[in-house]
Amino acid sequence: MREERIKIGILSLLAFLSMFNLTLIIPSLQEFIIERLSASPTEASLFVTLEMVAYVIFGVVWGAISDIRGKRKGLIVAGYAGSAVLYFSMTLAPDITTLLIIRFTQGAITIMSWSLVMTLALDYTRSQHLGRGMGLVGMGFIFGIAAGAPIGGFIAEIGIFIPVYAASLTFLLAAAISVFWLEEPKLPSIHRPYSIKDAVRSLLREKRIAIPYAFGFLERYSAGYFVFLFPLMLDAKFDASPATRGLYLAAFLIPFAILQYPFGRLSDRYGRTPFLIFGGIAYALLFMSIGFLDEQILVAIMIICGLLAAMLFPASLALVGDLSSPSERGTFMGGFNVLGSIGFAIGPLASAIISEVWGYGESFAFGGIIILLMIAITIPMLKGIHRSSGFHSLNNRNEC
């Protein structure tokens, strides 16, 4: 137990560093791209979009390669080290085209590291503890996202390259931690895929994997939707200052991060289904109401939304482990992150279009309706999945 907790703690730290870098340079894109390279806002937006595109293309590929090789640590180290080099090279890009090529390449390499870190969490954790293990890793991810943007904005005041240098050094630190502290999991040789095509076939054979994939899409779709639209709504409707907008976001992110572990533990005890269905429906209903609420009640609603979101993330991640064998987890987790990346790419675009046509309230209502509809689609597939222990006998897991 103690060894397992130490291993998952290291992975949670790596998850924090990965997501910290994801948002670290976002606040300074105006200076780093638009002003320095005389780029348009549309070209600057591609800096974010192309990274998501690379995630979608390569998420399953790297996971499948790790399953084929039966090894993950080397790919994680290479992903972090390569990301460090590519981030530093962004400061040397002479034009926007070169920068975007580097960005796409960096996205392709970066997902290799953090997606396989999530896979290692499944490898290291005993089957009856998957919820709490993924809850700890989820805490690292959410705290990293929450910390990256404000710190990045602060250090950008020193110089426009400082956040990029900091991201490069952070990835170097993650590579060093991976070299010295990660252990290669003992993966079984049976049922190991022999090609990427064979690995993809394993996804198609397990129809129930559509359940956590749908929730992975919804979680990051709603996150992208919310993070883009909510600050704009606060400014337009309530004339909220940047500091006030940050406090509202913190009211959502802090309970979302802190409650990952306790809800993960509860999903181990009571199963994934109640958290995914009831938590998902309640989250969707609150999401629909955000654009119609008074400013005084919004903080309380943000806290409750964060609580409900924390019910979903560890349960859906653990369900990926419930439904996959140890020799196929890289592929299955890669697919989860591909769907999540698609959701995160679609969310901001959908929120912007609908808010421009109909308004903020209608946009949040539409986003919540999409969440409700997708949850409704998953309910028949969740039928009969009452307790996570029901999967323990289906998969030949590594008991660490």
Using one digit for the tens of pLDDT, what is the confidence trace for 305-329? 999 999 999 999 999 999 999 999 9
Confidence band, pLDDT 50/70/90 cuts, at residue 385: low
Contact 58, 79 (CB under 8 A): no
Span 103-150, pLDDT tens digits: 999 999 999 999 999 999 999 998 889 999 999 999 999 999 889 888
The structure tokens listed for 284 are 């969707």
Span 209-232, pLDDT tens digits: 999 999 999 999 998 888 888 888
Nearest 5°: the CA angle 364, 280, 137 is 105
Confidence band, pLDDT 50/70/90 cuts, at residue 399: very low
CATH number of 2-389: 1.20.1250.20
Q: Residue 325: left (phi > 0), alpha (psi -120 to 50), or beta?
A: beta
Buried b (16+ CB within 10 A) or exposed e, 18-50: bbbbbbbbbbbbeebbbebbebeeebbebbbbb
pLDDT in the model for residue 330: 96
Highest-confidence range of 101-115, 282-296, 350-364, by mean pLDDT? 101-115
pLDDT in the model for residue 149: 82
Confidence band, pLDDT 50/70/90 cuts, at residue 184: very high
The arithmetic mean of pLDDT across residues 166-172, rounded, is 98
Residue type, 289: S
pLDDT in the model for residue 235: 87
pLDDT in the model for residue 381: 85
The arithmetic mean of pLDDT across residues 333-339, rounded, is 96
Buried b (16+ CB within 10 A) or exposed e, 273-292: bbbbeebbbebbebbbebbe
The arithmetic mean of pLDDT across residues 189-216, rounded, is 90
The structure tokens listed for 30 are 């105006």
Spatial distance between the Cα atoms of 42 and 284, rounded to a whole number of angstroms? 31
Q: Is the pLDDT of residue 394 over 80?
A: no
Contact 170, 296 (CB under 8 A): no
pLDDT in the model for residue 392: 42
The arithmetic mean of pLDDT across residues 287-301, rounded, is 92
Domains of the chain, residue spans: 2-389
Nearest CA to 399 out of 188, 211, 208, 166 is that of 188
Task: Say what the pTM is.
Answer: 0.91
**Residue 240's Cα: distance from chain center in Å?**
28
pLDDT in the model for residue 384: 61
Contact 303, 251 (CB under 8 A): yes
Helix axes 96-124, 41-69, angle to 10 degrees: 40
Percent of the chain residues topping a pLDDT of 70: 96
